[in-house]
Amino acid sequence: MAQTNRKKIPSELDYVNIHKAVAVISGKWRLFIILLVGEHTVRFGELRQQLPAISEKMLAGELKALVALGVLSRNVYAEIPGRIEYTMTPKGTLALPILRQLPKLGQLAN
């Protein structure tokens, strides 16, 4: 009997999970923020320098959203001047290998 080479058909649960994943990276800046943080610990000012086109208000909002989604963790230090650092959570780290493939996909799209 010949085996058919059928690909797995996504289930309804797959569609729900894909929708949730896209919600995490949706938006103009979230993808770039996730990639910039990567496996490092970064401060707000560092992100601001690396993304000069984003306003401080937009960056603060996107960071807050990524923390709420569980992608980033926010560590506040009781120092003067204040210091806030962002690091990737295990959930965010899971997305990194996939997101790092996007530039290659963009090259192939030409």
Total domain count, the chain? 1
- Look at residue 75 and tell me if it is in a domain: yes
pTM: 0.81
Residue range 4-62, pLDDT digits in tens: 556 778 788 878 888 888 888 888 899 999 999 998 999 999 999 999 999 999 999 99
- How many residues can be counted in the chain? 110
The strand ranges marked E within 1-77 are 41-43, 72-77
Measured CA to CA, the distance from residue 50 to residue 31 in angstroms comes to: 13
| Domain carrying residue 41 | 13-108
Measured CA to CA, the distance from residue 58 to residue 41 in angstroms comes to: 20
- Look at residue 57 and tell me if it is in a domain: yes
